[in-house]
Amino acid sequence: MISSITLRVNYSETDQMGVVYHANYLIWFDRARTELMRETGLAYKELERQGVYLAVSEVKIRYRAPARYDDLVQVKCWVRDLGSRRVTFGYAVERDGTGQLLATGETSLVSLTHQHALTRIPEDALERLRPTPDPVLHRRSPPPQRGEGAS
């Protein structure tokens, strides 16, 4: 399963150069990941009721081209890898309409108890969070549009 959300870049998300500030991609990743989990029928709230937190333990982002104020972007999310105590999500941020790849990334989350001890991901969650073949691997991005370099 690959989840996708569409967002419009807000002015408050840009820096002095008019480009989306790099940390905002983490917020977009979080929103896309939350939607993916919701679409699988596994809400974070339900995991927390079961005594489990999923805590981010690692983040990687590669910026390829800038997103700017008022752009529509599509943020795709999928499960890249799944273990008994860790789940890794992949992300692709694309310019809506053209499919130009703006950024790629991944986050790894570990399963913790409410006392913050490492624990297994519940079986029902493991059944719902199936790894998906990576849609970005070996993908070539369309060339940047005139005046758009990597940010």
Q: Which residues are catalytic?
A: 15
Six token digits for residue 95 = 């310019």
Q: Is 81 helix (H, G, I), strand (E, B) or coil?
A: strand
Please choose, from the candidates 90, 76, 81, the residue with its C-alpha nearest in 3D space to the C-alpha of residue 32: 76
For residue 105, the surrounding DSSP H or E stretch is strand 101-113
Exposure string of 23-56, with b = 16+ CB inside 10 Å and e = fewer, is ebbeebbbebbeebbeebebeeeebeeeebebee
Measured between alpha carbons, how far is 138 from 40 in angstroms, rounded to an integer? 26
What is the distance of C-alpha 80 from the center of its chain?
11
